[in-house]
């Protein structure tokens, strides 16, 4: 361009038609042609796009099916509350252990006690189902609760900076330096006996810290991006900037952290139950079942295997679903799911 003669009316490049940029290097690997007027691209709303991409993610779909199956099995088999389930036995009544309480589950048969019986003859399938119910409730309440608290604290601290950030982040640091288990144990001992919902909320109230720091970091970097300056330049309200321009871009971090915190909640609950601060007998959770029967591992391994398998299955499913969700929300994903 420096070769141009020094005249007032600059010569124009050939054309202004948008089609001229079709050959410009495309940032997409698929090489999708941007602006072909003769071939209109079908466009989807954000929600549709996310749904379609999620349903195309095989791992996530399998995990979702398995998780739904486990949930349905746990809640319908022995019922919940006053609602009876289709499984004839409950998880508290004792009886004589048949055949040493060995599982009767065969390749094609279910038998009397498919998961066996424990030392006092309680039906272990019913106990595992009850444990799964409790663990699922705790895991999801903790996962969702801590995500909400962590996101709110982190985004406010990151966006508004200054004194608000100082207060919120010192509070977070304070929670982090106290050993989680001790903190949870003390609070749940205080809240003691008020049931699993209270326990779940207590766990949520002490596990949001890592997400708060992650979200704060993301928000700190995003608020300096030019699209946020652009939003400010047109006079956008701070709340709208936060909810429309910043938080949607942190969704990947939030989802990953939520899936971790769901798995972690199951384990934290088992540790607490093991120490006697979490779920208390006669109620059971998967973690409690494992710790209760860990000594029986050599003689009655099924008392360990079945709840262990369910913990593993739930944690894996949650991770896969989180993976699928993160991919689905990623705007740089080119796949439309068709």
Partner 1 sequence: MSPVLGPTPAGAQPRDGGRERSALEASIDAIRAEGLTVEFTSRRGTRRQTLRAVDGVDLTLHQGETLALVGESGCGKSTLVRTIFGLNPIAAGQVSVFGQDVATATPRQRLAMRRRIQMVFQDPFSSLNPHLTAHEIIAEPLRINRVYSRERVTELFEQVGLTRDSFGKRPAEFSGGQRQRIGIARALALDPDVLVLDEPVSALDVSVQAQVLNLLADLQERLGLSYLFIAHDLSVIRHIATRVAVMQRGRIVELGTRDAVFTAPAHPYTSLLLGSVPVPDPHRRPAALATSPS
4, 96, 109, 298: which one binds partner 1 (CB under 8 A): 4
93, 94, 295, 334: which one binds partner 1 (CB under 8 A): 334
- 132 vs 136: CA distance, rounded Å: 6
Under 8 Å between Cβ of 310 and 132: yes
Q: Does 174 bind partner 1 (CB under 8 A)?
A: no
Nearest C-alpha neighbor of 115 from the set 84, 77, 82: 77
DSSP one-letter string for 236-282: --HHHIIIIIIGGGGHHHHHHHHHHHHHHHHHHHHHHHHHTSSS-TT
Point out which residues pair with 316 in neighbouring strands.
none
From the CB of 207, what's the least distance to partner 1, in Å?
A: 27
Q: Is the CB of 177 or the CB of 332 nearer to partner 1? A: 332
- 30 vs 219: CA distance, rounded Å: 30
Q: Does 17 bind partner 1 (CB under 8 A)?
A: yes
Of 11-19, 92-100, 184-192, 276-284, the segment contacting partner 1 by CB under 8 A is 11-19
Of 98-106, 118-126, 127-135, 222-230, the segment contacting partner 1 by CB under 8 A is 222-230
Q: Does 178 bind partner 1 (CB under 8 A)?
A: no
Residue 209 Cα distances to 140, 147, 158, 242, 272, angstroms? 17, 9, 14, 20, 19
Of 40-48, 87-95, 118-126, 131-139, the segment contacting partner 1 by CB under 8 A is 40-48
31, 37, 82, 193: which one binds partner 1 (CB under 8 A): 37
- 139 vs 267: CA distance, rounded Å: 9
Point out which residues pair with 128 in neighbouring strands.
none
Q: Does 166 bind partner 1 (CB under 8 A)?
A: no
Of 147-155, 175-183, 241-249, 301-309, the segment contacting partner 1 by CB under 8 A is 241-249
Site map 244..263 versus partner 1, x via CB under 8 A? xx--xx--------------
Q: Is the CB of 163 or the CB of 234 nearer to partner 1? A: 234
- 333 vs 324: CA distance, rounded Å: 12
The half-sphere exposure of 127 on its side-chain side, counting CA atoms within 13 A, is 32
Q: Does 221 bind partner 1 (CB under 8 A)?
A: no
Q: Is the CB of 36 or the CB of 110 nearer to partner 1? A: 36
Under 8 Å between Cβ of 263 and 248: no
Q: Does 299 bind partner 1 (CB under 8 A)?
A: no
Instruction: Say what angle helices 124-160 and 302-329 make with each other, to 10 degrees.
Output: 30
From the CB of 235, what's the least distance to partner 1, in Å?
A: 5
From the CB of 216, what's the least distance to partner 1, in Å?
A: 19
Task: State the CB neighbour count (10 A cutoff) for residue 248.
Answer: 13
Instruction: Say what angle helices 124-160 and 251-275 make with each other, to 10 degrees.
Output: 130
Q: Is the CB of 120 or the CB of 230 nearer to partner 1? A: 230
74, 231, 242, 303: which one binds partner 1 (CB under 8 A): 231
Q: Is the CB of 294 or the CB of 334 nearer to partner 1? A: 334
With a CB cutoff of 8 Å and minimum separation 6, the contacts of 287 are 131, 135, 266, 267, 269, 270, 271, 273, 274, 278, 279, 311
Name the residues that contact partner 1, by CB under 8 A: 1-4, 6, 8-10, 12-13, 16-18, 20-21, 24-28, 32, 34-35, 37, 40-41, 43-46, 225-227, 229-231, 233-237, 240, 244-245, 248-249, 331-332, 334
């Amino acid at each position: 361009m420096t070769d141009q003669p020094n005249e007032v009316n600059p010569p124009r490049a050939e054309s202004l038609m948008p089609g001229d940029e079709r050959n410009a290097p495309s940032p997409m690997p698929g090489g999708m042609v941007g602006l072909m007027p003769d071939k209109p691209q079908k466009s989807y709303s954000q929600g549709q796009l996310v749904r379609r991409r999620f349903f195309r993610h095989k791992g996530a779909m399998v995990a979702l099916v398995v998780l739904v199956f486990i949930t349905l099995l746990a809640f319908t088999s022995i019922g919940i509350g006053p609602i009876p389930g289709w499984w004839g036995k409950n998880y508290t009544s004792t009886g004589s252990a048949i055949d040493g309480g060995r599982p009767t589950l065969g390749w094609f048969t279910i038998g009397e006690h498919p998961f066996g019986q424990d030392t006092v003859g309680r039906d272990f399938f019913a106990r595992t189902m009850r444990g799964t119910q409790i663990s699922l409730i705790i895991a999801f309440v903790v996962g969702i609760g801590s995500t909400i608290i962590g996101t709110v604290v982190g985004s406010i601290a990151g966006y508004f900076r200054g004194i608000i950030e100082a207060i919120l982040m010192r509070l977070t640091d304070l929670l982090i330096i106290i050993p989680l288990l001790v903190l949870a144990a003390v609070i749940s001992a205080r809240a003691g006996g008020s049931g699993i919902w209270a326990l779940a909320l207590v766990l949520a109230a002490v596990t949001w810290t890592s997400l708060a720091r992650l979200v704060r970091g993301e928000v700190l970097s995003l608020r300096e991006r030019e699209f946020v300056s652009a939003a400010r330049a047109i006079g956008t309200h701070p709340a709208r900037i936060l909810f429309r321009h910043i938080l949607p871009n942190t969704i990947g971090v939030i989802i990953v952290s939520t899936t971790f915190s769901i798995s972690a909640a199951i384990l934290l609950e088992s540790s607490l139950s093991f120490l006697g601060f979490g779920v208390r007998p006669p109620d059971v959770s998967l973690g409690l079942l494992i710790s209760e029967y860990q000594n029986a591992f050599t003689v009655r391994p099924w008392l360990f295997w079945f709840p262990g398998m369910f913990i593993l299955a739930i944690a894996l499913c949650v991770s896969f679903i989180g993976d699928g969700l993160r991919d689905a929300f990623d705007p740089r994903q080119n796949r439309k799911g068709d």
